[in-house]
Amino acid sequence: MKNEIYIGDNLKVMNNPKFQKYNDKIKMIYIDPPYNTKSKKCYQDKSTSLEWKDFIEKRLEISKKFLRQDGVIFISIDDNEYANLRIICDKVFGIDNFVGTFITKQAQRSNAKHINIVHEYILCFAKNKKKLPKFVINRMEIKEEKKMINKLNLEVKKVIKNEGLEIANKKIKGIIKDYCDNYNINWLKNYSNVDENGKIYFSVDLSTPGKPRSVDIPEIGLKLKPLKTRGWSSDNRFITLYNENRLCFKDGRPYAKHYLEESEDNVPSILNFFSRQGTNDLKKLGLTNLFDTPKPVEMLKFLIRIGTKKDDIVLDFFAGSGTLAEAVYEVNKEDKRNIKYVLIQLDEEVNKKSEVYKACQKFGILPRVDAILKFRIETYLKKHKKEIDFEIHNLN
Ligand SMILES: C[S@@+](CC[C@H](N)C(=O)[O-])C[C@H]1O[C@@H](n2cnc3c(N)ncnc32)[C@H](O)[C@@H]1O
């Protein structure tokens, strides 16, 4: 399947027979609808609350059928319509399928009279929460943790270089304890070994609850006596670990190496993404001012990573400048995945008084959001020397 871009009103597109091939096929939907803030944008963002509610409910209602049973929807929103959106989602997806709300940073400051509002939200619902896999994130994807892990790695590498691996293995417990105390964390405490490549790991016990058994796997030279009250992991597990060079021994007892760099965590509810990063992402492509409110690519990469697996399909039916597409390309490249995107965008005229209108003229494209979307993705692909790999369907 190719990536696909549908041009037209999303309600019409999602009702179109051509689109029905996505029934039960989408693993993750991300949308960033107009927030109804009444502020000036390059696209329409003004309606009454009643109109907005009706508009969004109709679209969420139909979008639900495209989600797989283990699917998830993320919706960006701010204070204006958060409460209404939550009620609508409770109704459409069911209260039991409410997963949570992320808070993201929006700006350094607002001009509000009372509270300096610097955040917005991502509301998250499951199609069926019982079937939605756990959200986990590699700690190296979390800025602060990555910084700490890199610092720790450097410190340990220094000890290895100056004093050797044996001493490093003796000293590491103390180093880790200092980090746990200084950063006020507990999860790090078991990562108290260093291997011959200087990688820090945690030794995972390979006994299992169950009947004691002996192990004899001549091909990897492993012989183990039965334990008193517990069994051992399967032969297959031992063989895989051996082949991956993850089997290690302490006092003759086998353990699996779990590397610090692979450490994962549940996702936190407060995310460190600034909306403004999205504007910088466009600048990086040389597309300054081509859209008013692009979301940060990193934020969408984060959502893709927690909401999908290897070769899932993701949908954004308020695509705007197509940030989701860029995030999909990046995740595919970095994680060796094969995720496909489906985008829907109205052929909306850009507000003539906006900077975006001027930017469209500068880049020689039609002053319409669907043209901006197409141009942004093409520019990204060109920059990365990739072929055009999407199909466009005009359903307006
Ligand atoms: C907040 S923007 C999305 C920005 C996007 N997340 C990005 O990073 O560029 C909302 C978009 O929804 C589009 N839109 C509004 N009504 C729509 C509709 N009925 N069907 C399809 N798109 C619509 C607007 O044209 C606008 O581009």
Range name among 178-182, 274-278, 381-385 with the lowest pLDDT average: 274-278
* Whole-angstrom distance, CA of residue 97 vs CA of residue 322: 27
**41 Cβ below 6 A of ligand 1:** no
179 shares a domain with 87: no
> Residue 291's domain spans which residues?
3-135+268-394
Among residues 222, 240, 264, which one ends one of the domains?
A: 264
* Whole-angstrom distance, CA of residue 289 vs CA of residue 351: 13
User: How far is ligand 1, taken at its centre, from the CA of residue 383, in Å?
Assistant: 24
Q: From residue 155, give the alpha-carbon distance in Å to each of 37, 143, 175, 257, 355.
A: 49, 19, 9, 20, 49
Instruction: Identify the pLDDT of residue 214.
Output: 95
88 shares a domain with 26: yes
164 shares a domain with 94: no
User: How far is ligand 1, taken at its centre, from the CA of residue 294, in Å?
Assistant: 10
**378 Cβ below 6 A of ligand 1:** no
127 shares a domain with 158: no
147 shares a domain with 127: no
pLDDT above 90 for 246: yes
pLDDT above 80 for 263: yes
Tens-digit pLDDT profile for residues 20-74: 999 999 999 999 999 988 777 778 877 889 999 999 999 999 999 999 999 999 9
**318 Cβ below 6 A of ligand 1:** yes
244 shares a domain with 176: yes
239 shares a domain with 382: no
Instruction: Identify the pLDDT of residue 254.
Output: 95
Among residues 223, 245, 264, which one ends one of the domains?
A: 264
For ligand 1, mutation pick of 41, 43, 315, 347 (most atoms within 8 Å of CB): 43
Q: Across all residues in the chain, what is the average pLDDT?
A: 94
**345 Cβ below 6 A of ligand 1:** yes
**320 Cβ below 6 A of ligand 1:** yes
Ligand 1 atom closest to 321 (CA): 9
105 shares a domain with 10: yes
Tens-digit pLDDT profile for residues 283-326: 999 999 999 989 999 999 999 999 999 899 999 999 999 999 99
272 shares a domain with 257: no
272 shares a domain with 260: no
155 shares a domain with 79: no
Instruction: Report the 3 state secondary structure along 243-279.
Output: HCCCEEEECCEEEEEEEHHHCEEECCCEEEEECHHHH
> pTM here?
0.87
User: How far is ligand 1, taken at its centre, from the CA of residue 325, in Å?
Assistant: 14
Instruction: Identify the pLDDT of residue 155.
Output: 94
Would you say how long the chain is, in residues? 396
User: How far is ligand 1, taken at its centre, from the CA of residue 240, in Å?
Assistant: 47
When comparing pLDDT for 37 and 165, which is higher? 165
Q: How confident is the model at residue 169 (pLDDT cuts 50, 70, 90)?
A: very high
Nearest CA to ligand 1 atom 7: 294
Among residues 249, 264, 279, which one ends one of the domains?
A: 264
Tokens representing 228 are 């008193």
When pLDDT is averaged across residues 12-26 and rounded to a whole number, the result is: 98
CATH label of the domain that carries residue 274: 3.40.50.150
Nearest CA to ligand 1 atom 13: 318
**293 Cβ below 6 A of ligand 1:** yes
Domain tally, the chain? 2
**6 Cβ below 6 A of ligand 1:** no
Instruction: Identify the pLDDT of residue 142.
Output: 82
276 shares a domain with 379: yes
